């Protein structure tokens, strides 16, 4: 497939990329935003599972985290180079990689879904089974990862606070934010 130029993508045609810590709601909210805007939705983890025929925990268990990060990087670069107008939810660790931050910030509109540690903690039990990064970690160790990850999420175009909002409310807020940006013909930051 021919690689699209990353320059000069009109604001309205840019992919909308959702970043943030695991469990903040990127997959749930991304799907809702896509429905509300009649756009295609790509969940990068689901895309990897489909492309490689394995569930994410299985990839970690059989091939290790480094391999997962490599295919995560290749998948995201491929999406950024070959898709437009999509809503794209990344995995929470994707922005650890500079190459991913670069390609997303250069070609997409990056929205950071923010959730406080206190609200996130209440959700932890729901998340553990399918998130290998959380396995065999104490709450203090997870909080350390949560705190360390905030620096990588600091690179974004707009931040959306999700505390005390349900997924539908967050999605509605994002849709309004995007429409405002499109009216102004520029990404909101
Ligand atoms: N705003 C929200 N309020 C309450 N629960 C939420 C919210 N967003 C997501 N969830 C729940 O949190 C869990 C993780 O959501 P998910 O979309 O998979 O997060 P992520 O893709 O960021 O890891 C799911 O059980 C989902 O229903
Ligand atoms: O934060 C991480 O390192 C990860 C987050 C997960 O995605 P979600 O953020 O959608 O849970 C998934 O990509 C993988 O388990 C690693
Ligand atoms: Mg997800």
ipTM associated with this complex:
0.99
**Dist. CA 21 → ligand 2 center (Å):** 8
Pocket lining: 132 vs ligand 2, CB cutoff 6 Å: yes
Q: For ligand 2, what atom is nearest to the CA of residue 72?
A: 13
The residue to mutate among 93, 96, 129, having the most atoms of ligand 2 within 8 angstroms of its beta carbon, is: 93
What would the pLDDT profile of 102-151 be if each residue is shown by its tens digit?
Answer: 999 999 999 999 999 999 999 999 999 999 999 999 999 999 999 999 99
Q: 155 near 126, Cβ under 8 Å?
A: no
Q: How far apart are CA 153 and CA 2, in angstroms?
A: 30
Q: How far apart are CA 189 and CA 180, in angstroms?
A: 12
| 16 pLDDT above the threshold of 80 | yes
| 7 pLDDT above the threshold of 70 | no
pLDDT of residue 6: 61
pLDDT of residue 2: 45
Closest CA to 43 of 11, 13, 63, 72: 72
Give the number of residues written for the chain: 189
**Dist. CA 132 → ligand 2 center (Å):** 8
Sequence-distant (≥ 6) Cβ neighbours of residue 116 within 8 angstroms? 163
Q: For ligand 1, what atom is nearest to the CA of residue 29?
A: 17
**Dist. CA 127 → ligand 2 center (Å):** 10
pLDDT of residue 188: 72
Lowest mean pLDDT: which of 7-11, 98-102, 126-130, 158-162? Answer: 7-11
The domain at 14-183 falls in which architecture? Answer: 3-Layer(aba) Sandwich (3.40)
Residue 185 binned pLDDT confidence (cut-offs 50, 70, 90): confident
Pocket lining: 9 vs ligand 1, CB cutoff 6 Å: no
Residue 169 binned pLDDT confidence (cut-offs 50, 70, 90): very high
* H or E segment to which residue 109 belongs: strand 108-114
| Binding-site sequence positions | 23-28, 45, 69, 92, 131, 149
């Amino acid at each position: 497939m021919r690689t699209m130029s990353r320059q000069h993508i009109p604001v309205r045609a840019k992919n909308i990329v959702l970043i943030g810590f695991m469990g903040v709601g990127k997959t749930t909210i991304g799907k809702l935003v896509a429905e509300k805007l009649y756009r295609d939705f790509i969940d990068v983890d689901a895309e990897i599972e489909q492309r490689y025929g394995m569930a994410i925990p299985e990839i970690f268990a059989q091939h290790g985290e480094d391999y997962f990060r490599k295919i995560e990087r290749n998948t995201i670069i491929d999406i950024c180079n070959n898709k437009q107008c999509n809503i794209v939810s990344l995995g929470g660790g994707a922005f650890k990689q500079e190459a991913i931050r670069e390609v997303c910030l250069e070609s997409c509109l990056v929205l950071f879904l923010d959730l406080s540690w206190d609200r996130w903690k209440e959700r932890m039990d729901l998340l553990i089974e399918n998130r290998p990064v959380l396995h065999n970690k104490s709450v203090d160790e997870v909080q350390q990862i949560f705190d360390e990850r905030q620096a990588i999420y600091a690179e974004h175009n707009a931040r959306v606070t999700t505390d005390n909002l349900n997924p539908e409310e967050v999605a509605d807020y994002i849709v309004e934010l995007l429409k405002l940006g499109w009216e102004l013909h520029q990404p909101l930051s």
